[in-house]
Each structure stands twice: as structure tokens, then as C-alpha cells.
Structure 1
Amino acid sequence: MKTAGFEKSNLGWQFGQVQQQVAEWVELQLSKLNFNGQKQAPPGEWRLDWLEGFLRGMFWVILALLLGWLVWLAWRLWPIGSRRLRDLLNFSQTPAPKPEKPMPTAAEWLTKAAQLRREGDFGLAARCLYLAMLQRLNDSGRVKSQASLTDGEYRQLLRGFSGRQGCEVLLSTHEAQCFGEMPITAEDFERCQEAFGEIEKL
């Protein structure tokens, strides 16, 4: 009966041998270190004196990175404190606020409307009448003009106002012009001008 041949070597055994040799070399090098400051390695042999300093340095670097990450995380999660600090740091870089331009008066809007009418731009002229109406309502204290108000909201605020019909003509024309893309003719402008005249009489 013939017996099977034995393997002389295989990949797993070779890997185990290399692993064992590396572990023994590291153990030998570490055994040469004496942490009391005395070196046991014979003269002329390579020493690992630097290993202790390297490991201490790595410890402090890792600790500094961890603390830096915690500070950054606190900065991101704590909006009030970080906003205050950011404001303090950016104080010198913050531009001075620009003075607000005064809103044109109703008379200025009317002057602009008349000029545009002469130039034949009835759409912009009607828009100037609309803005003059809003400024007149604001000046009289009837409705405070706000950019966020829609024409429908102005209608609700004008309930019971005696000049509501004149306002309605200007509001409707403005809606048709902006949302219906209706071209404004000379007749439409004249109708808006008459409506504004009714509001001005009040």
C-alpha cells in the first residue's frame, strides 16, 4: 500500500512563519529597552530609544485632534454662543448698513406717470398711478404700504373705504397687467387716471 506524500511547504505555513519571526523580532527589540533610562543593548547594536518619544508624541497629537474635534462640534451645535463669537470676530469686517432710500412721494409717482404717458408707455404710466395710490393710502394712514401685501389683501383692507371703487380700478388694472399680461392702452390709462382723481378728492 502506497502512502500519500507529505507537503513540504504551503502558503498558510509560510505566512505563520513570517508572522512568528516578526513577533519575535519586535519582542527582542522591546526587551532591549529599559524604561528606567538604562540601555541594555550592547554597544554598536541598533537601539529603539526613539520609540518611547514617538509613542508619547503620537498620544499628544491624537489628544489634540480629539479636543479640536470636540471644540468644532460644540461650535456647530451651540448656535447662540458661536453666533456671538462669529459676530465679535467679524465686527471689523462687517460693512456699515446703507442708508435707506426714501420712498417716492405720491406726487413724484404722478409726475413719473405723466412723463411716461407723454412717451407713450401706458403700461408703466398705469403702474406709477398704482404706486401713487398705495403711497397716498399710506400717507393718509388708511393702509400701511408693504411690499408683501397682494392686491387681494389691499382689497380686504379697503372694505368700507369710500374711495374703494377708484382703488378697485387701479388694483384690477395692476393685476391684469402683471398676471394676465394684458397690454395697457391709452384708454385704460385714462380710466386709471380718473380713478386716481376720485381717490385724491377724498
Structure 2
Amino acid sequence: MICSLLLFLAYSTLASATTYFLTVFAPNTEIDGALLNAAAQGFYAGLSGPATYCPQGFTCPDTQTSLVYAGLTAMAVEVPGGQAIYVAASGQIAYTPAHSSYEPAGSLTGGWFNKTIVSDCDPAHEVLDFLPVDGSSSGGIKLCPQVEEYMAGTGASFRLYAGTAAFNLTGCIDAVGLTLHGVAEDFGCWQYT
């Protein structure tokens, strides 16, 4: 049986949770359901957990995943000033270091929207997708196997990207979107490294 998918845009927020972990929604691909974790200011599939820091005397929750706020606006952290999430001009979905609001020139914030996937075979599925707010006609979510050399040995197999006007990698897998899974914790750590 062949299933057909219909896409419906939804501008409502997801359930009542305030923090979420991310998985990839890309049916019939090797990355479908892959958990995304934060490390080195990026999001990767294949990591056994996020790269975090919690200072002595501060108790971090026992989470094995990276937590973000709804709409992919920021990392769910306790560090003063937080850690904002942005899309670099190259398409890399990244987050700011602790104690810094620096985002490289050409970075985009916003552009994230909820959409509902309706299928003949499966229940409706809510995902988060990306359309740049810079007026370009690019967009979408991509997972690319071009992982930086400094991530060697970590298990990272794909890095998360968004389609931007300057995105130029090949061999990437287009995802339908990101699934946000609500959790009870208010934050995942002091900071993601």
C-alpha cells in the first residue's frame, strides 16, 4: 500500500510542555527518528548524549538528550543570558556559547513554523519546519553527513542544517521536519558546550 502525505501548516504551539528534545521526521530514510543532540554549538545525530557543563554545587537533571524551548528559539539552560538558537548563513543550525549573544553575520533567527503531516496510513504528525525570513525561497530541514573533523570519534554521523540562500552541501537528506517531544524538566543543564 502506498501512503500519501498531506501537509497542513499549523501556527499553534505544541501541547503544554515548555521544553522539548528533538528527533528527525524523515520517513523511509536512514535518519528517520534519529535523536539530535547539541555539541560544539551544533546539532548532531549519532551522539550518545549532549555536550554539557554543570558547575560544582549545581544539580543538573539526569537527561540524556538536549532540551530546547518551543519554536527552536533557545536552548533550555540555566546559564544567565541563556543560549539562543540561530541559523547561520551557511544553513548550520547553531546556538550561541554561554555568556555571549554573538551570532555570525548573515545569521537568521525566526522562520520556524509548525506543520501537520497527514497520511493515509498513519496518524497525523506535528513537526517543526523552517522557511527563511529573509525572503529567499529556500527552506526545509536537512541532515548532512559532512561532520567537522573535530567531531571525529564522537559518533556524530549527520549535522543539522536548514535550507538558506547560501546552503551548498550535497549528499544531504531532506527531512520533512523535526519532531518536538515535550518533557517535564525546565532545563537540560547549566549550559551546552
The TM-score with structure 2 as length reference comes to 0.21
Largest Rg, 1 or 2: 1
The TM-score with structure 1 as length reference comes to 0.21
Higher helix share: 1
